[in-house]
Amino acid sequence: MATMRLLNEEQYLIQTVDKKLALTTHRVIQRKRLRHLRGCTSIMLEDIESWQIKATGNMWYMGLSVASLPFIYLNDSWAFLGAFFLLLFLMTRQNRIHIISQNAVIVLPLEVDETGLNSLVEIFRQAIKVRMERLEQQLPEKVAA
């Protein structure tokens, strides 16, 4: 597995049990453990433009449902198969948090309910606020040097 090295003075704030997602003092890190995608995606906290809650589902099910539509002309039983895949798509839809920056989008692999969402967003806001304060403190030091 590819590991993401921490930057100078960077510390972990929160990390999931499976270590796929981490919030540090400087950035949000998402590790990918798929066979064909090994590596990490990260967004610096100061680069986060917004976050949104979107319902996401497995698009393979929707694609299989649409692919079965032409076969309905051959035999009406294909409609059941298309409906089955459509129901699977609707059943796998979950509300996920999308963190958006100019260069990347990270979809948090967490199922978050409404009460937990407010605390999670508050943790992100506090981390961003602390990071921006540190950057403002370092800026006058660099200008004076």
The pLDDT tens digits of the residues spanning 45-102 come to: 888 888 787 878 888 999 999 999 898 888 888 889 999 999 999 888 887 888 888 8
Asked if 9 and 78 sit in the same domain, the reply is no
- Cα–Cα dist 41/101, whole Å: 12
Closest CA to 106 of 5, 53, 12, 30: 30
Average pLDDT on 126-137 reads: 85
Beta bridge partners of 54: 96
Is the predicted pLDDT of residue 4 greater than 70, yes or no? Answer: no
Same domain assignment for residues 50 and 62: no
Residue 67 domain boundaries:
58-92
pLDDT at 1: 39
The total number of structural domains that make up the chain: 2
Q: What are the structure tokens assigned to 136, written together?
A: 């403002």
Cβ neighbours around 45 below 10 Å, total: 21
Do 119 and 107 belong together in one domain?
A: yes
Co-location of 62 and 43 in the same domain:
no
pLDDT tier, 112 (very low <50, low <70, confident <90, very high otherwise)? low
Q: Are residues 50 and 86 in the same domain?
A: no
- What pLDDT, on a 0 to 100 scale, did the predictor assign at position 28? 87
Looking at the structure, do residues 145 and 106 belong to the same domain, yes or no? yes
Pinpoint the alpha helices (H) of the chain: 59-67, 78-91, 114-144
Q: How far is CA 130 from CA 29, 126, 137, in A?
A: 17, 6, 11
Torsion region of 31: left, alpha or beta (phi above 0 gives left; psi -120 to 50 gives alpha): beta
Instruction: Tell me: pLDDT of 119 over 80.
Output: no
Residue closest to 63 by CA, chosen among 96, 95, 89 = 89
Give residue 34's pLDDT: 62
88 and 108 assigned to the same domain: no
46 and 86 within one domain: no
pLDDT of amino acid 88: 92
9/49 same-domain check: yes
Q: CA of 27: how far to CAs of 5, 22, 143, in Å?
A: 12, 8, 24
Whether residues 19 and 42 fall in one domain:
yes
Assess whether 49 and 14 both reside in one domain. yes
Comparison of pLDDT for 31 and 141, the residue scoring more: 31
pLDDT in tens, 9-44: 788 888 888 878 888 888 888 887 665 556 788 888
